[in-house]
C-alpha cells in the first residue's frame, strides 16, 4: 500500500511511531486504523455534546471506553470468585503483596514486544514519566530486584490496563483484574511449574465453570521449531507473535501474515504449519523426540525433555487429563523463557471459521516461566528464576453473572440482620437508641432515616433487601420494657424483654443462617 506524505504527516500527528527502516507500511496502517477509529469516536462524542447544549448536561455521562462500574450485585459475585481464588492461593502457601497502579515508564519499556503500544501513559505534568501497569508480572520483577528478594511465593490481585480494542460482552476490558500467583527462586526443574498447573486446575474446578483444558508449551520448543523450519533468528519473536494469534484466528490468515507482512519464505511457513497443528500428551513428547527434524535443535530437545518432566509431575498431581501439550500455543510477551500455559474453557463461545472448524475464544488463565525478567532490573544483572500464572477473571465474572441471572437467584447485597422499626409517630429517638444498643453489641442493624416512616415501607425494605428480622418498638413495648421481634420468613412474632434482646437476636441469627 502506497503512503502519501500527507498521510504520513497525519499518522505522525496521531502519535504513530515511525521508523522508515523497520516498520512495514501495512503494519503502520493497522496501528493508524485503530487510532483513526478512536479519533472518530472522539469527534462523534463532541458532536453529541454540541447537540446537548441548552440542557444542564455539558458532557457524556459514562465511564471511559472499555471500563465499567460494578454494581452491588456484581460485587457480591466478584467477592465470591475472589474468595475461591484466594483460598486456592493460600492452600499452596502464598503470601500477598501490592504495588502502585503506575510505574516509571522506563520500568515497562522493552518488556511487552509488539503489545507495548497498548500501554497507557500518564501526561507529563512535570516530574517523572509514568505509565499504568500492563500486567502484574513486570511490577513483581521490579519489586524483587528492588528489594533483593530471591525467593518468594506470592499472589497479587489487582487491576491492569491495556489500551486494546474492548469487547465487553466477551469480558474483554481496558481495565480488568488479574489474579497472579508466582513462584520465584532457584529450584529443581519443573516442580514449581507443575504446581502452577495444579493451581489453575483447582481454581477452574472450584469455580464450576464447566469443562476446560490447560494448554502447555515451551519457549525452547517454539524457538527450536522456528530454527529447524528455517526462520531467521532475528524473526523468532515476530513470528512467535503471529503463531500467538492461532487461538483467535485461522492458520491461513496467520500464514498470510507471516509471508506478506513479515517476509517469511512460504516453504518455511508451511513447515511451521505442520508442527502447530499438533497437540497431545506424553505420547506426543515421545513422538517429537523421535522426529527426524525437531530434536536436531538443541533448544527443542531440551524443551521436550522439560515437557516430559512437567507432564509427569502433572500426572502425580492428578491433573494430566486436563493438560494438552499444544505446539500452537505461543504467548506473545517477550519475557517468557520456558514453560508457557493457557487455560481455555471448552464449549464457551465459538467463532465458526470459513472452513467450518471452530475456534474457542475462552482463555481464562495464562502464564509461564520468565527467568530473565528480574535480571533486567538488577544493577548487576543478577537473575531470579520465576514462574507463574494469571487468572483472567473478567470472563469468569461474565459467566458467573449470566449463571446467576439464568437461575434468577436472589443475591443479597447487604448482611443486615435486624431492621429497627416502629408503626407509631414520634418514635425516632427510641429507634435511634435501639439501633445504638444493637450496633454496640456487634449486631448488623438498620432503620429508615425518617421521623415517622410507615410500617408498610419498613416491612417492604426488609422484604426487598432480605433482612430476616424486624425489631418493633412502640408505646406498649416501651411501657412493658420489651421489643417485638418478627421473623420475616415465618412471620412469627415474639415479645422479648429488652434485657434479653441481644442474646435472643444472636440466637435467632444462628438459627436462620444454619437453616
Name the binding residues for L-histidine. 135-137, 162, 178, 182, 331, 335-336
- In the complex, minimum distance from the CB of residue 339 to its own copies, in angstroms, rounded to a whole number: 14
Give the Cα separation of 145 and 141 in Å (integer).
Answer: 6
Give the Cα separation of 508 and 483 in Å (integer).
Answer: 14
- In the complex, minimum distance from the CB of residue 88 to its own copies, in angstroms, rounded to a whole number: 9
Annotated binding site: 135-137, 162, 178, 182, 331, 335-336
C-beta separation of 81 from 400 below 8 A: yes
Return the exposure string of 357-388: e unless at least 16 CB atoms fall within 10 Å of the residue's CB, then b. Answer: eeebbbbbbbbbbbbbbbebbbeeeeebbbbb
| CB atoms inside a 10 Å sphere around CB 244 | 22
- In the complex, minimum distance from the CB of residue 70 to its own copies, in angstroms, rounded to a whole number: 4
Determine the 3-state secondary structure of 324 from DSSP: strand
- In the complex, minimum distance from the CB of residue 87 to its own copies, in angstroms, rounded to a whole number: 8
DSSP per residue over 237-286, as a string?
A: HHHHHHHHGGGTS-HHHHHHIIIIIT---HHHHHHHHHHHT-EESHHHHH
- In the complex, minimum distance from the CB of residue 259 to its own copies, in angstroms, rounded to a whole number: 30
Give the Cα separation of 356 and 303 in Å (integer).
Answer: 33
Pick 234 or 415: Cβ nearer its own copies: 415
Give the Cα separation of 330 and 332 in Å (integer).
Answer: 6
- In the complex, minimum distance from the CB of residue 332 to its own copies, in angstroms, rounded to a whole number: 20
Pick 5 or 449: Cβ nearer its own copies: 449
Phi first, then psi: give them for residue 482, nearest 5 degrees: -130, 175
Q: Across-strand partners of 319?
A: none
Please give the C-alpha separations between residue 247 and each of 132, 135, 242, 276, in angstroms, as whole numbers: 27, 20, 11, 11
Pick 219 or 431: Cβ nearer its own copies: 431
- In the complex, minimum distance from the CB of residue 398 to its own copies, in angstroms, rounded to a whole number: 16
Give the Cα separation of 119 and 132 in Å (integer).
Answer: 7
**Joined grid coordinates for residue 418:** 435486624
- In the complex, minimum distance from the CB of residue 189 to its own copies, in angstroms, rounded to a whole number: 9
| CB-side neighbour CA atoms (13 Å) of 285 | 20
- In the complex, minimum distance from the CB of residue 460 to its own copies, in angstroms, rounded to a whole number: 13
C-beta separation of 451 from 422 below 8 A: no
Determine the 3-state secondary structure of 60 from DSSP: coil
Q: β-pairing, 212-218 with 323-326? A: parallel
| CB atoms inside a 10 Å sphere around CB 62 | 8
DSSP per residue over 213-242, as a string?
A: EEEEEEHHHHHHHHHHHT--GGGHHHHHHH
Query: What is the residue whose three cell numbers read 525478567?
Result: 373
C-beta separation of 114 from 336 below 8 A: no
- In the complex, minimum distance from the CB of residue 124 to its own copies, in angstroms, rounded to a whole number: 7
**HEC readout, 84-95:** HHHHHHHHCCCE
Amino acid at each position: 500500500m502506497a503512503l502519501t506524505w500527507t498521510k504520513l504527516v497525519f499518522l505522525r500527528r496521531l502519535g504513530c511511531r515511525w521508523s522508515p527502516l523497520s516498520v512495514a507500511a501495512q503494519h503502520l496502517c493497522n496501528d493508524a486504523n485503530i487510532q483513526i477509529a478512536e479519533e472518530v469516536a472522539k469527534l462523534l462524542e463532541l458532536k453529541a455534546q454540541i447537540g446537548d447544549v441548552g440542557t444542564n448536561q455539558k458532557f457524556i455521562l459514562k465511564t471511559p471506553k472499555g471500563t465499567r462500574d460494578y454494581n452491588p450485585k456484581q460485587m457480591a459475585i466478584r467477592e465470591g470468585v475472589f474468595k475461591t481464588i484466594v483460598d486456592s492461593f493460600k492452600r499452596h502457601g502464598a503470601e500477598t503483596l501490592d504495588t502502585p497502579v503506575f510505574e516509571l515508564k522506563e520500568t515497562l519499556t522493552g518488556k511487552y514486544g509488539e503489545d507495548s503500544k497498548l500501554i497507557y501513559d500518564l501526561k507529563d505534568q512535570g516530574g517523572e514519566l509514568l505509565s499504568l501497569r500492563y500486567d502484574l508480572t513486570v511490577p513483581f520483577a521490579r519489586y524483587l530486584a528492588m528489594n533483593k528478594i530471591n525467593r518468594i511465593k506470592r499472589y497479587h490481585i489487582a487491576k491492569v490496563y491495556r489500551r486494546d480494542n474492548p469487547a465487553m460482552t466477551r469480558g474483554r476490558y481496558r481495565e480488568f483484574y488479574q489474579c497472579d500467583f508466582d513462584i520465584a527462586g532457584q529450584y529443581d526443574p519443573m516442580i514449581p511449574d507443575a504446581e502452577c498447573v495444579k493451581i489453575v486446575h483447582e481454581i477452574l474446578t472450584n469455580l464450576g465453570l464447566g469443562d476446560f483444558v490447560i494448554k502447555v508449551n515451551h519457549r525452547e520448543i517454539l524457538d527450536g521449531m522456528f530454527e529447524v523450519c528455517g526462520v531467521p533468528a532475528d524473526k523468532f519473536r515476530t513470528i512467535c507473535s503471529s503463531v500467538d494469534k492461532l487461538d483467535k484466528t485461522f492458520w491461513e490468515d496467520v500464514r498470510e501474515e507471516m509471508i506478506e507482512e513479515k517476509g517469511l519464505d512460504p516453504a518455511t511457513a508451511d513447515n511451521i504449519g505442520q508442527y502447530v497443528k499438533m497437540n497431545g500428551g506424553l505420547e506426543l513428547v515421545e513422538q517429537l523426540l523421535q522426529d527426524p527434524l525437531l530434536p536436531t535443535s538443541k533448544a527443542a530437545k531440551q524443551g521436550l525433555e522439560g515437557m516430559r518432566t512437567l507432564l509427569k509431575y502433572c500426572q502425580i498431581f492428578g491433573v494430566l487429563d486436563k493438560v494438552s501439550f499444544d505446539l500452537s500455543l505461543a504467548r506473545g510477551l517477550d519475557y517468557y523463557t520456558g514453560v508457557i500455559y493457557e487455560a481455555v474453557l471448552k464449549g464457551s463461545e465459538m467463532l465458526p471459521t470459513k472452513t467450518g472448524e471452530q475456534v474457542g475464544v475462552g482463555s481464562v488463565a495464562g502464564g509461564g516461566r520468565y527467568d530473565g525478567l528480574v535480571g533486567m532490573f538488577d544493577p548487576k544483572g543478577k537473575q531470579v528464576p520465576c514462574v507463574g500464572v494469571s487468572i483472567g477473571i473478567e470472563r469468569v465474572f461474565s459467566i458467573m453473572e449470566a449463571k446467576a441471572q439464568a437461575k434468577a437467584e436472589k443475591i443479597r447485597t447487604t448482611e443486615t440482620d435486624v431492621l429497627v422499626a416502629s408503626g407509631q409517630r414520634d418514635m425516632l429517638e427510641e429507634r435511634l437508641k435501639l439501633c445504638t444498643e444493637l450496633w454496640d453489641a456487634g449486631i448488623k442493624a438498620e432503620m429508615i432515616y425518617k421521623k415517622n416512616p410507615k410500617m408498610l415501607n419498613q416491612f417492604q425494605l426488609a422484604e426487598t433487601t432480605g433482612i430476616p428480622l424486624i425489631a418493633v418498638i412502640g408505646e406498649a413495648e416501651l411501657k412493658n420494657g420489651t421489643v417485638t421481634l418478627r421473623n420475616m420468613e415465618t412471620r412469627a412474632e415474639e415479645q422479648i424483654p429488652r434485657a434479653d434482646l441481644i442474646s435472643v437476636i444472636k440466637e435467632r441469627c444462628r438459627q436462620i443462617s444454619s437453616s
